[in-house]
Structure 1
Amino acid sequence: MAALSLTHVSISFGARAVLSDICMQIEAGRFVGVLGPNGAGKSTLMRAILGLVRLERGAIQVLGCAATRGNAAIGYVPQTRSAAARQRLRGWDLVASASNGHRWGLPILGKAARRDVGRALDAVGATDLARRPVCELSGGQLQRLLIAQALLGRPRLLLLDEPLISLDPQHQRSVVELVKHVQQETGITVLFSAHDLNPLLGAVDQVLYLGGGRAALGTVEEVITAPVLSRLYGSPIEVLKIEGRIFVLSGRIEVERGAHVHDA
């Protein structure tokens, strides 16, 4: 069974088409890097998979069922996390607060739920962060806790929306290695959006590149090519490979230079 299937999916905001007639299928257990310029629809796609965005046309299936709100089979790490960084909660409380997502405040957990929190913290190597105030943690440590949150309930699909934003290269590597480890240990399917492919090289099984309302899914070698990206961008694109890194250029300007703050 495919983890994710899109059939002729179109999404528009007003007169602007974000995704146009997208058809694709992602097999279970894959680690997929979701790439594309700012505004290409990376966050919109994830929200649509979560059932939070109305489709103009087409259908999305998650693990064989129609995409709907509150799907317990999906774990999600959103792009905006500044509020979490200011919390005086302990790490354990931050993770536990997602156990009953439909309620406000810290939940009173039973034994099974407490075991699940402990399991999720252990899965991301964050047991030592459980007693520390969240506001004292580094960006990389906070990201571990947010991934632990997303792993509560043992989801089968994990969506991470730009988890590398504002992290230095060392912490970016740590987060990518962590997610890859979780994927290999659990067999979970991962969609990991990023503004730059390079931190994901060596971890991804496939890349999903969005641009101009279109999409290309395949291996790095199949998708990150001048012809494919030129089609998506609608203008000539050059792909350079230098010392194990990949650069996507329009003219002489690096298309994805610098992290963006948010996406459509």
Structure 2
Amino acid sequence: MTEASPPPSPLLEVDDVSVTLGGRPAVEDAHLHLYPGDLLGLLGPNGAGKTTLLRAVLGLVPIAHGQVRVGGLSPARTRHLVGYVPQRHEFAWDFPIDIAGAVLSGRTRFRGLLRRTRPADREAVDRALDLVGLTALRRRPIGELSGGQRQRVLVARALAREPQLLLLDEPFTGVDVPTQELLNDLFGRLAADGKALLMTTHDLAAAARTCTRVVLLNRTVVAEGGPRLLADPEQMLRAFGLDTAIGAAA
């Protein structure tokens, strides 16, 4: 009799994590696991702690209690496994650099700040630009880009790190429909290739179409399940409040 294969180990483990900012709780007792092939949508109202939770995974904010593990290791030891796409306003778009240079900056962990670019760096940048459809524009200054093009630059910059885990903070905010469709397709392909993606978003429709699982967060995890969870008015009421719950039920 053939033995069953052991279940896969989670790539990301967030266990009972709480974060306090400015003396106030920002995240409380949050718990989620992310596996290779997952595209998990993290949804909740403004101020729910979504970005704070991503930063806790990155090791950028201190954890009051609980633990985060990526590949079984603490965040300080796993930065080589993680790619991060921040919200667009967090990037210095007035810096005098072109698209290829911005994407190359994602390779700093390999090169160091002052080291020469290696063939492996150039190849990683080329692959990332091809994935987001920016190869032909690689020499365009980043200050001349549209909102959708800037979002693709940030995604390429994260992918140039060749991560196993990709964290995306509101990747669909303020982008045009073609860019959203391109990114939806790309994120699905990355998950199918065994990457794990954790995406914060306010776009319920995009999450329902794209994500394999969703988590509703309002400081703590309110509910977790498949995309159909977004059509459950009771859970949406708990996470978002009356207006969103009515809209989800309609």
Q: Bin the TM-score by the shorter chain.
A: 0.7 to 0.9
- Hey, what's the Cα distance between the residues in 2 that align with 1:179 and 1:24? 20
- 1:179-216 Cα deviation digits (max 9, x unpaired): 223333x3211111111211233211011111143342
Select between 90-99 and 161-170 the one with higher mean Cα deviation: 161-170
- Hey, what's the Cα distance between the residues in 2 that align with 1:192 and 1:77? 9
Matching of residue 134 in structure 1 with residue 142 in structure 2: yes
Structure 2 match to 1:239: 245
- Secondary structure of the equivalent of 2:197? strand
Q: How many residues align?
A: 241
Matching of residue 206 in structure 1 with residue 213 in structure 2: yes
Tell me how large the CA RMSD over aligned residues is: 2.5
Offset at residue 52 of structure 1 (A) = 1.0
Higher strand proportion, which one? 1
Cα 1:98–1:180, aligned 2, differ >3 Å: closer, same or farther? same
The answer for unaligned runs of 5 or more in structure 1 is 241-246, 253-264
Q: TM-score, normalised by structure 1?
A: 0.81
Q: Is the 8 A contact 2:12 2:34 kept in 1?
A: yes
Structure 1 match to 2:119: 111
Q: Is the 8 A contact 2:172 2:203 kept in 1?
A: no
Identical-residue share of aligned pairs (%): 34
Cα 1:224–1:45, aligned 2, differ >3 Å: closer, same or farther? farther
- 1:116-138 Cα deviation digits (max 9, x unpaired): 21122122222112122222222
- Hey, what's the Cα distance between the residues in 1 that align with 2:172 and 2:77? 26
Structure 1 match to 2:18: 10
Cα 1:83–1:159, aligned 2, differ >3 Å: closer, same or farther? closer
- Hey, what's the Cα distance between the residues in 2 that align with 1:229 and 1:123? 34
- Hey, what's the Cα distance between the residues in 1 that align with 2:208 and 2:177? 13
Q: Is the 8 A contact 1:124 1:182 kept in 2?
A: no
Offset at residue 82 of structure 1 (A) = 6.0
What amino acid is aligned across from residue 121 of structure 1 in structure 2? Answer: L
- Secondary structure of the equivalent of 1:18? strand
- Hey, what's the Cα distance between the residues in 2 that align with 1:163 and 1:231? 25
- Hey, what's the Cα distance between the residues in 2 that align with 1:125 and 1:35? 28
Structure 1 match to 2:204: 197
Q: Is the 8 A contact 1:75 1:155 kept in 2?
A: yes
Matching of residue 167 in structure 1 with residue 175 in structure 2: yes
Structure 2 match to 1:158: 166
Q: Is the 8 A contact 1:7 1:23 kept in 2?
A: yes
> Which of residues 30, 36, 48 in structure 1 aligns to 2:44?
36
What amino acid is aligned across from residue 195 of structure 1 in structure 2? Answer: H
